[in-house]
Amino acid sequence: MQVLQVQLEVGPDPAEVGRARRWARSRLAGSGMGDDEPLAETLILLISELVTNAVVHTGCPAVLRMLFGGPGVRVEVADASDRAPARRQAGGEDTGGRGLELVDGLADRWGWQREGAGKRIWCEVDRAAGGPAEAPEQAPKNCGLMREPRVYL
């Protein structure tokens, strides 16, 4: 099986999140996915959340990767910060603090690991299922994942 990997360097500026979304949309279109497909919309939201977390919470440049092949699409965001993601509990009126909660709800699998002096946060969305929102009858997500207690940014 052949896997196609594309990547984008993202600067430590919140304006880079919009650029990352536009770049991802063009790569998804190049893979044959239309903007209005639920899978594409889910992936763009996941990318937006992960890139925002990297840019806002670390202040470091990051690398966004998308891997196409196999049963789905994998999104990875690596940054040079040695700080592990920190748990955040958003209150009812808070405008932030829900990023990884969204990732947990939208991705079929996700996690993070240390990488060199920094870390990589990743998520996967299966193509066949059309995203978890369209397949509630699936087995519980994240089964068998080695994962620390839930981490929210």
Ordered by start, the domain boundaries in the chain are 4-134
Q: Which residue has the tokens 């600067």?
A: 11
Rounded Cα distance, 3 and 5, in Å: 6
Q: Output the six-digit token pair for 129.
A: 């299922």
Helix (H, G, I), strand (E, B) or coil at 68: strand
CATH fold for domain 4-134:
Heat Shock Protein 90 (3.30.565)
Specify the pLDDT at position 3. 83
pLDDT at residue 54, rounded to an integer: 92
Q: What is the pLDDT of residue 35?
A: 78
Q: What is the pTM of this model?
A: 0.78
For residues 102 and 145, the answer to whether their CB atoms sit within 8 Å is no
Task: For residues 28-46, give the mean pLDDT.
Answer: 90
